[in-house]
Amino acid sequence: MASTLAPRTARKTRTPAASRRTPTSRRTRRRLAADAGLLAAAAAFVLPLAWVVLSALDPRASLRVKVPDGVTLDNFDAILTPEITFTPLLNSLVLCGGATALTVVCAALAAYPLSRFPSRLNRPFLLTVLFATSLPITAIMVPVYALFVRVNLIDTMQGTIFFFAASQLPFAIWLMKNFMDGVPKELEEAAWTDGASSLQSLLRIVLPLMGPGVAVVTVFSFVMMWGNFFVPFMLLLTPDQMPASVSINDFFGNRGMVAYGQLAAFSIVYSTPVILLYVLISRRLGGGFALGGAVKG
């Protein structure tokens, strides 16, 4: 009897340990699968960036991702000329910088009454703005082109800036209003008591407190305009006014001939202003509204 009961007791003592190991092994497999998926996604993003960097330093660059046999800066020397890089980049800075400033100002002025003065028309207006963000840019370029021809804005920098700002304004209003709703209205009421106007309270209280929101709208608008190819390609006709987003097309020659090394070098130079903009305002992007202790109940 003792010999027959001993194995049964041993089996009963081993069963809980086996059951405890099963969930742990399942979690381990799930974690490994998630890590493998993340590594695959990271490789999909890293490989194109690696090709750009390596090809810019390769005198015989191709579509293959490979370590160059000899590192050279000839590709950068070939593109760093006024006609290829400097003038298009200056045009891009003028277009995108002017349109971004106009977008941020107009978005702040439009979002302020929507956030501070409730009305029955606020929701229909916001829904209309949301609908405007879903319109494809290619669908409205034909009437816009005809309108610009009639008002003599075709092939002008100011006309392209106006259209850039108008195309980014709907989503910028949505973002700006959401950030503006986080600023307590009691702070403005205190300023109004001291004799400040609505514009003064917007400039001196609301906008400084919602610095992260202004930074987000600025970066988002600038990046969307910086990489836009279709709008300046349609509205600008003079080659000297073309931005870098359009002049990059010159590296794709006829019959499939592409200067891959120069294209990669130009891509690095072309991405530099956006990276610098993000670095300059990264502190604003990571911060929050410093309102602790500002309002007492």
The model's pLDDT over 15-36, given as tens digits with 9 standing for 90+, comes to 555 445 566 788 888 888 888 8
CA angle 17–22–27, rounded 5-degree value = 135
Paired tokens of 172: 């910028």
Please report the pLDDT score of residue 255 as a whole number: 55
Please report the pLDDT score of residue 293 as a whole number: 43
Please report the pLDDT score of residue 208 as a whole number: 87
pLDDT at 291 over 70: no
Percent of the chain with pLDDT over 90: 28
Please report the pLDDT score of residue 5 as a whole number: 46
- Residue 258's SS3 state is strand
Please report the pLDDT score of residue 286 as a whole number: 55
User: Which stretches within the chain are classed as H helix?
Assistant: 2-56, 74-79, 87-116, 122-133, 137-150, 157-180, 185-193, 198-201, 207-209, 211-226, 230-235, 244-247, 260-280, 282-286
**Tens of pLDDT, residues 181-210:** 888 888 888 888 877 788 888 888 888 888
pLDDT at 10 over 50: no
Cα–Cα distance between 297 and 295 in angstroms, integer? 7
- Which is it for the CA torsion 68, 72, 78, 80, positive or negative? positive
Q: Which residues are CB-neighbours of 251 under 8 A, at least 6 positions away? A: 258, 259, 262, 263, 266
Instruction: Tell me the average pLDDT of the chain.
Output: 82
Q: Do 251 and 98 touch, CB atoms closer than 8 A?
A: no
Please report the pLDDT score of residue 256 as a whole number: 59
Cα–Cα distance between 53 and 66 in angstroms, integer? 10
Q: Could you tell me which residue, 122 or 171, shows the higher pLDDT?
A: 171
**Tens of pLDDT, residues 60-115:** 888 888 888 888 888 899 899 998 899 999 999 999 999 999 999 999 999 988 88
- Which is it for the CA torsion 248, 254, 255, 260, positive or negative? negative
DSSP state for residue 252 in the 8-state scheme: B
Please report the pLDDT score of residue 159 as a whole number: 93
Cα–Cα distance between 13 and 6 in angstroms, integer? 11
Using pLDDT thresholds of 50, 70 and 90, give the confidence band for residue 221: very high
Q: Could you tell me which residue, 11 or 250, shows the higher pLDDT?
A: 250
